[in-house]
Structure 1
Amino acid sequence: MPAFKFKYQTFLSRMREGKGLYICLMQIVGLLGLIILFLWLSLRPKSPSYSILLISLEQPSNSNENGTIVYNLEIQNSNKDSSIYYDDTILRFLYGQDGDEDEVGETTMGSFHQGTSSTREQSGAVNARHRTFKPLIKAISNATAELKVALMTRYRYKTWGIKSKFHGLHLIGILPIDSDGKLSRKKKKYPLSHYSKKLGRSKIRH
């Protein structure tokens, strides 16, 4: 009996030691997991941001010709460790009531690479469609015009020499246009944001 009791106590002691070792290993694994999570969150690249700096609606001298939309777009990469490779970018201008907008004009910006912690300005002119440009100009004369802009592209990051998979981006914004046909100067710039119900359901083709 004494020998059995001794063996039983030894068994219990080893069980406790094994359990303590298991708990210790689990704590180490949990700590390593937290460290990896914090590192991933700190190194995870931020999406590029887009803002409209300028819009100017140019009316043609001949009423039968198309008008022109002149724009200036700011693209910002705030990542210190990741540059960004952009695919072609589609920029569309829309006018109309929520859920029933018509396309005024469209342009495509070619692919490009943007370095870390940098800002790029992209300017251009878009031929406006006569059918939708005319009611827009009429609304501007009454100082009631709001032009919508929709942007679609895809991009991937390059971090420490490694390129990520492609990420899709679909942004939209509302641009108040003053009676002179130019973007309101109430703000220095008008950031584009992800789709929301506030901005309405625009007719945007994917």
Structure 2
Amino acid sequence: MYKPQKRDFCTTCIMPLITIGVLLWLLIKPSIPKCYIEEFDVFALRENTNSTHLNNTIYYNLKLKNRNTDKGVYYDTINLNFYYKPNEYTSLAIGNSTFTPFYQGKYKSTHRVGNIEPRGVRWGNATASTVMFRVELVTAVRYKQPLWKSKRHHLVVGADLRVNDKGSLGNGVRLRSNAQRNRKNRFQLIGLLAEKPSSSKRYIDEFNVFAISFQLPKAAGGWNGIDMRVWNKAAILKLLWAIAFKQDKLWVRWVNAYYIKRSTLMEVNLSNNISWMLRKIIASRRLLEDIGGWDNNISNSRSLA
């Protein structure tokens, strides 16, 4: 037999409980801190500057704002990574900074400033009215409740920075989270490779998004992968360094005796009888010139035996 009074009783009891639970959850749920880059000055892009900074110095000002009026924030080590973007599909790492853990009070703001000195970047190629950079921030935060500390919440944010022809950012830029997109891209690789791309630009764009997320740490939604292009360049420059500074190895002695002879590594000609492997190693001297040579990258080259 149908008893409508029981349904009315259940509805009357459950709905207020659900409403109270949602309100309590909204009151307890913390707001993540807001992160801004308020200043970003590239002194090498300034036509006329009387600054005491070196020409390749980049100055930045990071602002962190706690939006919670009833909760403090404990920050783990903050990692900042900076990139130079000469075009839409290329990002070159130019430096990084770290800040030690600290505590931020309720509804407080704090600033962290610093300098980076990028190497191997040809600023002379940056002739456009605006130059694009990117900054990414990775850390973890805990919220101070009245009686306890919350668990760690990973904070991964980033933003593109448009620098004008005077080498300044202009208005500040808020760093926003891309963690959800990075987690989503884990499952897109198979479909992306199996799909016949209807647009080459869309295909390249999506693949670059996946490549960036692949290199992020697992805590940030990535696979903690290694950029093999950078790895290969570093490995071949290691072999070039061994030849240039005549490391005490048999194959290095053989190369210097039969191919380099009385010439220098930067001036020797690549003859046809050189093996493809040695040709590839010697040809990497162009990469060495692009990054500024040994002196700008190794303080004491001979100590790296």
1:107-162: CA deviation from partner (whole Å, max 9, x where unpaired): 1111111111111111111221x22x32xx23444323111111111111112132
Match of 2:78 in 1: 89
Partner Cα distance (1:74, 1:170) in 2: 15
CA RMSD between the two structures: 2.7
1:67-104: CA deviation from partner (whole Å, max 9, x where unpaired): 22210011011101111111111101112234431101
Higher share of residues assigned helix: 2
Moved more, 42-51 or 92-101: 92-101
Structure 1 runs not aligned, ≥5 long: 1-11, 60-64
Partner Cα distance (2:127, 2:177) in 1: 30
Q: CA deviation at 1:66?
A: 8.4
Partner Cα distance (1:164, 1:95) in 2: 36
Match of 2:145 in 1: 159
Match of 1:115 in 2: 105
Pick the structure with greater CA Rg. 1
1:6-28: CA deviation from partner (whole Å, max 9, x where unpaired): xxxxxx9xx96xx7467425522
Change in Cα spacing, 1:205 to 1:32, as seen in structure 2 (3 Å) is closer
Equivalent residue letter for 1:113? Y
Partner Cα distance (1:165, 1:98) in 2: 38
Partner Cα distance (1:139, 1:150) in 2: 24
Q: Secondary structure at the match of 2:18?
A: helix
Q: CA deviation at 1:57?
A: 1.7
Match of 1:79 in 2: 68
Q: Secondary structure at the match of 1:170?
A: strand
For residue 133 of structure 2, the aligned residue among 141, 144, 147 is 147
Is 2:179 the partner of 1:193?
Answer: no
Partner Cα distance (1:142, 1:25) in 2: 67
Query: Structure 2 length as normaliser, TM-score?
Result: 0.52
Change in Cα spacing, 1:138 to 1:144, as seen in structure 2 (3 Å) is farther
Contact 1:140 1:179 in 2 (8 A): no
Higher share of residues assigned strand: 1
Contact 2:58 2:117 in 1 (8 A): yes
Is 2:117 the partner of 1:127?
Answer: yes
Query: Structure 1 length as normaliser, TM-score?
Result: 0.75
Partner Cα distance (1:116, 1:98) in 2: 40
Equivalent residue letter for 2:68? N
Partner Cα distance (1:85, 1:149) in 2: 22
Partner Cα distance (2:15, 2:128) in 1: 64
Structure 2 runs not aligned, ≥5 long: 45-53, 183-204, 218-305
Identity %: 25
**Which 4+ residue blocks in structure 1 deviate beyond 6 angstroms?**
none
Equivalent residue letter for 1:122? R
Q: Secondary structure at the match of 1:163?
A: coil
Match of 1:32 in 2: 17
Match of 1:103 in 2: 93
Equivalent residue letter for 2:80? L
Partner Cα distance (2:102, 2:124) in 1: 37
Contact 1:93 1:149 in 2 (8 A): yes
